[in-house]
Amino acid sequence: EVQLVESGGGLVQPGGSLRLSCAASGFTFSNFYMSWVRQAPGNGPEWVANINQDGSGKYYVDSVKGRFTISRDNAKNSLYLQMNSLKVEDTAVYYCARWGWGWDYWGQGILVTVSS
Amino acid sequence: EFVLTQSPGTLSLSPGERATLSCRASQSVSSNYLAWYQQKPGQAPRVLIYGASSRVTGIPDRFSGSGSGTDFTLTISRLDPEDFAVYYCQQYGSSPWTFGQGTKVEIK
């Protein structure tokens, strides 16, 4: 069974940092493109970042470029999102998602709250 | 930026009725790389359709996608009680990948 489990969320002050992790199981992690997708309260989903299978290609939405870094460790079947210089508008539930035919598997989501 | 506009915002229908949801793109979607997702409260989105018209394995055949270029449609042929949810279209042909704002299908 495919499982994606996020961790590392919580409350952080504006300007602070947080690192999200996503533990993958039930599939060959190194074969798949992976993503972070977020959803602010009451809003629709928003794509944040993608990483290709070997980690050599990374892509970001403009609003997080230079502040967020996506990475992966295929040996540990793990995906990461390093979030720096956090802003109030980064408050959202963050999902780890596998890109297959569309985002075909999602984690349960982890809440990140940026507030003073 | 690539904008997807979904209509209507809310669709009020009864179980057994047909639902037709529209997604219009601000520019042509490359290779018809458009997906549809269903989301229920407190859950992650679930992919229904990819490539504009290909149904994901395990999705009931009452869900169908159509369209090309800038105009796409998700049709639910006969609404089941479990189908009342919010539906999003999403394009993955151009970066940044973007979602529409959603259509809520509610029980009339």
Per-residue confidence (pLDDT) for residue A59, from 0 to 100: 97
Q: Are A35 and A97 in contact (CB under 8 A)?
A: yes
Pick from B2, B31, B47, B55 the residue to mutate for testing the A interface (most A CBs within 10 Å).
B47
CA distance A35 to A104: 11
Task: Tell whether A59 is within 8 A of chain B (Cβ).
Answer: yes
Closest residue in chain B to residue A45, using alpha carbons only? B99
- Of A7, A15, A8, nearest to A89 by C-alpha is A15
pLDDT above 70: percentage of residues in chain A: 100
Q: How far apart are alpha carbons B77 and B20 in whole angstroms?
A: 8
pLDDT band at B1 (very low <50, low <70, confident <90, very high): confident
Name the pLDDT band for B14 (thresholds 50, 70, 90).
very high
Quickly list DSSP for A66-114: TTEEEEEETTTTEEEEEE-S--GGG-EEEEEEEEESEEEEE---EEEEE
Which residues on chain A are in Cβ contact (under 8 Å) with B45? 45, 103, 106
Q: Is the pLDDT of residue A97 over 90?
A: yes
Which pLDDT tens digit goes with each residue over A17-70?
999 999 999 999 999 999 999 999 999 999 999 999 999 999 999 999 999 999
